[in-house]
Structure 1
Amino acid sequence: MIALNKPLTPDLSTLTNYLTQVNDSGWYTNFGPLHELLTQRLEQYLGVKNLLLVSNGTLAIQVACKALNINSAITTPFSFVATTSSLLWQGIETAFCDIDAESYNLCPLSLDKALSQDEHYEGIVATHVYGNPCDVESLAKVADKYNKKIVYDAAHAFGVKVGGESVLNFGDASTLSFHATKVFHTIEGGAIVFKHKADYEKAKQLINFGIQVDGSLGEAGINAKLNEYQCAVGLTLLDQMESVIRHRASLFNHYRTELKSITEIKLPDWHLGANFNGAYMPIYISDIDRQESIITALKNNNIQCRRYFTPSLDVAYSQQKSFGCGNSQSIAGGIICLPLHNFMSVEDVLVVTYVIKGIL
């Protein structure tokens, strides 16, 4: 079987060495030595500052919005459900505006139009979909125009750069997921990268019950810390990341080369200044019968695939305000994600594309 995804497996010898350190120290959580080491190494690897580890990617979005005092936000309808559900769970007033039909990311023109109609929203939450960076320059102009804060859901964008700069350095905060299915993982986990040190310091208190540096209680917080065992997994896997991203990007390029000449398949336009990390391999096919034929053929050849994302979140959460999301609804109805993970080979890609070509 060619699996849709297969999580990275940490080298057990290296992992055991880290776990032995944890057991010897007796420090299992609460900003322990491995937590601090993983923070330092991730900041260095990703080229960022003010990185705060948290226990999952959903809490990363919630803590970022809390630290930035965002109580109402406009977001994208084309993303994994957690982008929106994390806001709603937090009690954040949420509205949707449309995506760009070519990149699948939040559309700056649609956002500008939405804010011109209703300026009361305090923040913007945009996703770098499939690891493809948003038009960060244009979104920044809209945010500045209306004096809004931006949180980027960068769950798919580990190791991605725009013009040589980490995509995590754009906006007021960027959030990462370190779930086992991601390019880099700690089994469960996540991180937030803040633009400003003061926001980072506030968030660090919030994820530790709101306890301040002197031990007194400040604003009510939550427990969102990453424990030492999970940090051990992260430290073990981080050693592999250069080769992992290089391999996944190579597979991604092979897919695009094999499929680009098929007129019935549309591939998303990628940010011209960005690198690939091979997080996902999405294809768009407008014809429903063709979609079903491909899904059936892949299944019959023991190849996994997934409709990802569907439905458009403005449809799933229809009680929330929408400024019109026709592009998202259309694209959500036609996306299929193909297998892509570190344990695949180029030959696997050729098998998958051969089956698709046989249908189309």
Structure 2
Amino acid sequence: MTVTKPDLPPLEEYVEYLKKIWKSRWLTNNGELLQLFERKLREFLKVENLLCVVNGTLALHCAIKALELEGEVITTPFTFPATTNVIIWEGLTPVFADIDRQTFNIDPEDVERKITERTCAIIAVHTFGNPCYVEELEEIAEKYNLKIIYDAAHAFGVEYKGRSVLNYGDVSTLSFHATKVFHTIEGGAIVAKDNNLFEKLKLLINHGIKSEEEFVIPGTNAKMNEFQAAMGLCNLKYFDERVRRRKIIVEYYKENLNNLDVEFQKVIASKHNYIYMPVLFKNSKIRNKVYEELSRSGIKSRKYFYPLTTDLACFKNLDLVKKFGLKVAPEISGRILCLPLYSDLTLEDVDRV
């Protein structure tokens, strides 16, 4: 049993789109399927300015480039390495704030404590699809004139107080990787609040090309192709039903684990996508023992997120946990385990876990 499995549409539905691609011989460069996919996503996600890209990591790169950030970026260490790696690759300095003990998201109070004259932005992660404390973060950003990028890799379809989480901040980025609750095999998207920023992002993801003879800014190649768009079109129509099934599985897990000495993430979303099944054990010793026992039984779980990104090899011997006074993030990272969760996981499988 794996920790996750990609959802796939009926093969014949995908093949129908492939036939269109074969007939048009238009494989990439803003093809007909991509344009259709982007229109459907804007409507489904309730956003105005959305661009599809080849993956979620390049979405973050392009967001930073478009905002022309320089200096320090306050971020969370409790995340996938991509969030931190992008900050480093773009020549910025990551400053790590601690996380909230209940939501596992970046702690706004610690964010404000970490602001210096070099701070230019906050990159916050909607951890496991759970919205950050967006109101507090936006208040801080306005007070100190900072930009906010939300890494919404986990947050496809998530809403906070009835509003898409993608409508907060200056930019939100999505991942459509095969492991996500919605995927295009590989892929991602960028959502921008400002129209001018959106136009700039359009240029950035396609080498800065304005026309055949105009290359107006240094860009990159982050374009989504027609095959990815086709998979997205197929998967989008099944998303709500898959989330409905995931919710049943998550609730069944919680009901059956409730009598044990474990804790669950506090979810503040008004509409959640049930992307992961994180469980907090009493300590790392118990977590590791459960992980090993599950492995011996042929059940793959994941210590997610462990280790913290402060422990990446590039930070070796810097002891960033101590430097930034991180208390909660190391504790949560040491106790957390994500259990198997995918839309066709049976309740009998959950009983086995």
Q: Please tell me the TM-score bracket, short chain as reference.
A: over 0.9
SS at match of 1:191: strand
Aligned to 2:292: 296
- Alignment partner of 1:243 is 2:241: yes
Aligned to 1:150: 148
How far has the Cα of 1:346 moved from its partner?
Answer: 2.2
Q: Is the 8 A contact 1:314 1:325 kept in 2?
A: no
SS at match of 1:221: coil
How far has the Cα of 1:215 moved from its partner?
Answer: 4.0
Aligned to 1:220: 218
Question: What is the CA deviation profile of residues 199-258 of structure 1, one whole-angstrom value per residue up to 9, with x for unaligned ones?
Answer: 111011011001125741112100000001111111111111110111112212222222
Q: Is the 8 A contact 1:75 1:95 kept in 2?
A: yes
Q: How does 1:18-57 map to 2 (within 5 A)?
A: 18-57=17-56
Q: Is the 8 A contact 2:283 2:334 kept in 1?
A: no
How far has the Cα of 1:320 moved from its partner?
Answer: 9.4
| Unpaired segments ≥5 residues, structure 2 | none
Task: Kindly provide the amino acid, as one letter, of the partner of residue 6 in structure 1.
Answer: K
Aligned residue pairs total: 347
How far has the Cα of 1:312 moved from its partner?
Answer: 1.4
- Alignment partner of 1:133 is 2:110: no
Task: Kindly provide the amino acid, as one letter, of the partner of residue 57 in structure 1.
Answer: G
Give distance in 2, aligned partners of 1:315 and 1:292. Answer: 19
Q: Is the 8 A contact 2:77 2:98 kept in 1?
A: yes
Give distance in 2, aligned partners of 1:15 and 1:307. Answer: 34
Distance change >3 Å, CA 119–CA 323, structure 1 → 2? farther
Task: Report the TM-score, using the length of structure 2 for normalisation.
Answer: 0.94
Aligned to 2:267: 270
Task: Kindly provide the amino acid, as one letter, of the partner of residue 69 in structure 1.
Answer: E
Aligned to 1:65: 64
- Alignment partner of 1:10 is 2:9: yes
Aligned to 1:76: 76
Give distance in 1, aligned partners of 2:240 and 2:194. Answer: 28
How far has the Cα of 1:268 moved from its partner?
Answer: 1.4
The two structures, once aligned, show a CA RMSD in angstroms of 1.5
Aligned to 2:326: 325
SS at match of 1:175: strand
Give distance in 2, aligned partners of 1:331 and 1:3. Answer: 23
Give distance in 1, aligned partners of 2:152 and 2:344. Answer: 23
Question: What is the CA deviation profile of residues 49-107 of structure 1, one whole-angstrom value per residue up to 9, with x for unaligned ones?
Answer: 10110000000111011111123311111001111112212222221111111111010
Aligned to 2:336: 335
Task: Select which of 277, 290, 308 maps to 2:304.
Answer: 308
- Alignment partner of 1:99 is 2:95: no
Task: Select which of 228, 232, 237 maps to 1:230.
Answer: 228
Q: Is the 8 A contact 1:35 1:231 kept in 2?
A: yes
Give distance in 2, aligned partners of 1:119 and 1:260. Answer: 46
Q: Is the 8 A contact 1:65 1:71 kept in 2?
A: no
Q: Is the 8 A contact 1:95 1:320 kept in 2?
A: no
Give distance in 1, aligned partners of 2:289 and 2:103. Answer: 25
| Unpaired segments ≥5 residues, structure 1 | 353-360
Q: Using the TM superposition, name which of 227-236 and 208-217 deviates more.
A: 208-217
Give distance in 1, aligned partners of 2:6 and 2:244. Answer: 16
SS at match of 1:17: helix
SS at match of 1:151: strand
Aligned to 2:160: 162
Task: Report the TM-score, using the length of structure 1 for normalisation.
Answer: 0.93
SS at match of 1:122: strand
